[in-house]
Amino acid sequence: MTAINFAVIGYGGMGSYHIHNIMPNENERIHVVGTYDHSEERQAISSQHNHKIYSSLEDILQDQTIEAVLIATPNDSHKELAIQALKAGKHVVCEKPVTMNVAELDEVLKVAKETGLTFMVHQNRRWDPDFLITRELYKNQQIGELFQIESRVQGANGIPGDWRHELKHGGGMLLDWGVHLLDQLLFLVDSRIVKVSADLSYILGDEVDDGFIAYIIFENGSRAIIEVGTTNYIKLPRWYLKGTKGTGVIHDWDLSGELVIESDKQAIQAPEPIQAGVGLTKTMAPPSEEATETKKLSNVSAEYDPFYKNFYKVVREQAEPVVKNEEVRKVMILIEEIFEAAKKLK
């Protein structure tokens, strides 16, 4: 096994997370040679880790020992960097969002095709345990067929960092967490999208969205609500899943949550009315105890390889990538549709 020699372009939050937290899991397959970052402070930190410090992109591209690059720079630079790296004969791992839009992505994919090199986007949240539980529920139908999938991430900290506040760099939350949630959704649901409604929020007064809500209808009739918020001091559940036989909730990344599953259809339909505010309601009364059973969530492992193990196999063994470029492209199309749909509500 010969490890793939990597140079990392951008040693900020994500670049350093790859180097120090993800790549070491595959240390027989992935070897970090060095980094390139314009910040002298970051260069200093990187050199303490015995990384070679490249002084320009050109330096990396001319280094024949480098087989692959990781692009972990602001979003508006991905396209140019990817194209140059591919043209210089390097395989590429690219942070999300892959590019600013579909047109840019198509330019990259054209060069990837011409060069025959691997271009793979780090859609790492396909390995999130909460997503894997959801995916398993989708498949095993423990709560029946999922017909409504609500996926939310909410925080109260506003838009992070510096360039994420700026349009020209591809800032905003739709191009940040939005990419993850939409990628998970399309990886999950086995049906074509037929309608998209969306609203972007600008609560914080930035030129980019500080969150959004998208309502997506699939050809098979199922619905998804995808929401990102950065002005939420209390979180709604990370996942809220409606199935034909029950409901599932995953509250947070701690995987707390439960399934409530119908066990007696007859009992479900004849609950005792409850006092609700100043009125009675039978409709909104909880099902009687015999009518449902509550189950714990069970942890699930991915049946596909971890990202860098897969990347290695794609490069060395012509394996199929877990994150396929045509999937990434569909997510970018959906993001453009969401931006477009949101204009209708302006």
Q: Does 264 bind a copy of itself (CB under 8 A)?
A: no
- Examine residue 75 and tell whether it contacts a copy of itself (CB under 8 A): no
User: How far is residue 309's CA from residue 332's CA, in Å, rounded to a whole number?
Assistant: 25
Site string for a copy of itself, 154-193 (x = CB under 8 A): xxxxxxx------------x--xx----------------
In this structure, the number of other CB atoms found within 10 A of the CB of residue 84 comes to: 18
Give min distance, CB of 266 to a copy of itself, in A. Answer: 11
Task: Judge contact between 183 and 259, C-beta under 8 A.
Answer: no
Least distance (Å) from a copy of itself to the CB of residue 233?
4
**What DSSP string runs through 8-50?**
EE--SHHHHHIIIIIGGGGTTTEEEEEEE-S-HHHHHHHHHTT
In whole angstroms, the minimum distance from the beta carbon of 132 to a copy of itself comes to 9
**Which residues ranging from 267 to 296 are in contact with a copy of itself (CB under 8 A)?**
268-269, 271, 273-287, 291-292
Please provide residue 72's backbone torsions phi and psi, each rounded to the nearest 5 degrees. Answer: -135, 55
Which CB, 117 or 149, lies closer to a copy of itself?
149
Window 122-151: residues binding a copy of itself (CB under 8 A): 124-125, 127-131, 143, 147
Answer yes or no whether residue 5 interacts with a copy of itself by CB under 8 A.
Answer: no
Task: List, as one string, the DSSP characters of 83-130.
Answer: HHHHHTT-EEEEPSSSSSSHHHHHHHHHHHHHHT--EEE--GGGG-HH
Q: Is residue 253 a contact point for a copy of itself (CB under 8 A)?
A: yes
Taking CB under 8 A as the rule, does residue 116 contact a copy of itself?
no
Using the minimum distance from each CB to a copy of itself, give the nearer residue, 54 or 239. 239
- The reply to whether 240 sits near a copy of itself by the rule CB under 8 A is yes
- Burial of residue 298, with CB atoms counted within 10 A of its CB: 0-12 exposed, 13-18 middle, 19 or more buried: exposed
